[in-house]
Amino acid sequence: MSIDETSPSQAPETVVPQQVAAEMGIEHLAINTIRTLSMDAVQAANSGHPGTPMALAPVAYTVWQNFLRFDPNDPTWPARDRFVLSCGHASMLLYSMLHLAEVKQADHYGDVVDEPAVPLEHIKKFRQLHSRCPGHPEFGETGGVETTTGPLGQGCGNSVGMAIAQKWYAARYNKPGFELFNAKTYVICSDGDLMEGVSCEAASIAGHLKLSNLVWIYDDNKITIEGETDLAFTENVALRFKSYGWNVSFVEDANDLAAMQKALKKFNSTKTGPTLIVCKSRIGYGSPNKAGSHKAHGEPLGADEIKLTKAFYQWNEPDFFVPQDVYEHFRQGVGARGAKLHKSWKSKLKKYGKEFPELAAELANIDSRELPADWEAALPTFPADAKGMASRASGGKVLNAVAAKIPWLIGGSADLAPSTLTLITAEGSGDFEPNNYNARNFHWGIREHGMAAALNGMALSGLRPYGATFFVFTDYMRPSMRLAAIMKQPVLWVLTHDSIGVGEDGPTHQPVEHLAALRAIPGLNVMRPGDANEVAQAYRAALASTDAPTAMVLTRQNLPTLDRTKYASAEGVAKGGYVVTTGDEKPQVILMATGSELQVIVAAAEQLEAKGIKTRVVSIPCWELFDAQDAAYRESVLPSDVTARVACEAGIKMGWERYLGAKGRFVGMNGFGASAPAAQLFKEFGITAEHVVAEAEASLNG
């Protein structure tokens, strides 16, 4: 049986409302409840997208009620299936499901609260301040929302990371008689999602990795904001996905429950790769508006249209009405199934703990976001060395040292592992491939955006993932990095070749404005350590974080390793900034730097001291951590009455004003770089100790 989702003005003439009502059972009562809740919420807000929730209500219903392994009483159950609404503008579809399934509330940290995630009063306040029903689903704000799907395509990218994580969990922790992990990831995506480049990268990765636990249900409704998709999108999506290595199925009518059921059963039995279900729908809309786009796609239907549509559905109830039979229907479906599966899983996990105590302890740590008790003991200490090493090299040593203690620290590079030095070399680490899911090294290919989105999905699944590339390519990754910060996910990005020190590759590969760009993202810790011991301490801070991502910015060129018997301990990195030079004398001038420029200001300080100018060297490898310290500590590092200051960084000045004050001077870049050996470039652009000395003297005399 099929119920058309369109309004009367758009309904096929062969469909008669009375016939529909006569055929209606509990399934269609539930589906129409999803539709009417969506219409009413959008209308009350006078804002939002009712069309897609109306059109896809049968699809979401089928996934949740008949397939999803999910316990509404604990939406953070580790072995659950994931449901991702990548077309987040259709958020009322998800909120309706969360309400009807009576999902409990949970926060960013997985703590479940004994209250509904989406009470009816929050649906009535859709898109309003402090409602758990914001315009797009927000992870951590609403229980059952698996990821923040704001920009189109991101949910698709995240879902690949979720599927990867479940494959990794199964390969590492499943044992004969103890199949703890067998989860699937279900995604609803739109034309807009599949036009975005990030979804293309993610789909290509998923096909290569043969992620048979991943399905994208593609809402092929031929509509975007501007109008019909053939304005700009005429490709054969099915053929494209087949070329990626996906299995492709077709559902000709989104209202055909039997056809969707059949397609999802086929997905669940498929072992050869991910699945795309091309599902055709007619979006619920009224007449085209003056701009030529269809009103209900991005606007409320309006009271008159809602009245007609509800009449077509034979829905004579007040706004926001939910029949009690519908609640009970979902309790007996997804609720009962999820509770039974979860109870069985917990019983199996208890027995597993006795058989495999070390693996069970790992799972407990992952679930609580705790690292092994002794992991910090693995951090290396580096001896003083005038020649030193590139921080990418010391970073590789530190990464491998801590990875030996943290088995769920996994990741890789976007085709640059030989340069970023981010391969885990411990025995058994291996390469994550279709025949080796119990591995820790990922080869993402030249897909920075897809990598970053997948890392978010892996982190949302409890892993501690890292991804590596050259710093300049954060231009491609920034949207996903921003979302990691919004979701408070402790993803680690290892970003090497951090400045004009890249040298001969020239300005296209030399990051200049990138430090400022990343520092502009609230909640992202940007670490730029200045020597090998600062690198170790930066990793300590990054891995200790459970609620913030970290950008680890490292050099290609060698950095001297400071003699820590002469200079302060690098443990000050934990506070973001610290005084490197020792002694209690009040300075006349303060020199500040991050990363490779630490060596520049250390040399400059020696020259200034030789001139009788008392000089303090301050390293500020992480502004975010330093700014989070109390005022007394910040004052102890940068005393306010010392106004002669110089900051040195091989990037633009933006942001340094907060530390420099009115009299401070900046030594760095004010344009792009050039192609030449690194040493020549630093001299050419004046990033030298001599220039710092001159600016320090000018600041003193100013």
Tokens 């303060």: give the residue: 590
Q: What is the 3-state secondary structure (H, E, C) of 58-78?
A: HHHHHHHHHCCCCCCCCCCCC
CA distances from 492 to 55, 396, 484, 540 (A): 39, 13, 10, 12
Which is it for the CA torsion 640, 643, 645, 647, positive or negative? positive
Beta bridge partners of 225: none
Q: Could you give the count of Cα atoms lying within 13 Å of 327 in the half-sphere of its Cβ?
A: 10
Tokens 């200001």: give the residue: 601
Which is it for the CA torsion 168, 174, 176, 179, positive or negative? negative
Amino acid, single-letter form, for residue 308: L
- Quote the tokens at residue 510: 């030399």
CB 310 within 8 A of CB 50: no
- Of the candidates 342, 335, 336, the one whose C-alpha atom is nearest the C-alpha of residue 97 is 335
Which is it for the CA torsion 586, 589, 595, 597, positive or negative? negative
- Quote the tokens at residue 126: 């859709």
Q: What is the DSSP letter of 436?
A: B
| Helix count and strand count (H, E) for the chain | 27, 22
CB 553 within 8 A of CB 595: yes
Q: Which class for 284: exposed (0-12), middle (13-18), buried (19 or more C-beta within 10 A)?
A: buried
Reply yes or no on whether 23 is catalytic.
no
- Of the candidates 674, 678, 526, 541, the one whose C-alpha atom is nearest the C-alpha of residue 600 is 678
* Residues ≥6 apart with Cβ < 8 Å to 566: 582
5, 138, 146, 448: which is the annotated catalytic residue? 448
CB 382 within 8 A of CB 533: yes
Compute the C-alpha angle 258/263/267, nearest 5°: 145
Greatest extent of the chain over all pairs of C-alpha atoms, in Å: 96
Distance CA 65, CA 138 (A): 23
3 state DSSP class of 210: coil
CB 175 within 8 A of CB 70: no
Which ranges constitute the DSSP H helices of 628-688? Answer: 631-637, 657-660, 678-684
Beta bridge partners of 467: 412, 493
Backbone angles phi and psi of 584, in degrees to 5 = -100, 0
Distance CA 28, CA 3 (A): 8
CB 464 within 8 A of CB 369: no
3 state DSSP class of 125: coil
- Quote the tokens at residue 547: 């609620």
- Quote the tokens at residue 63: 């996934």
The length of the chain, given as a count of residues: 702
Residues with active-site annotation: 448
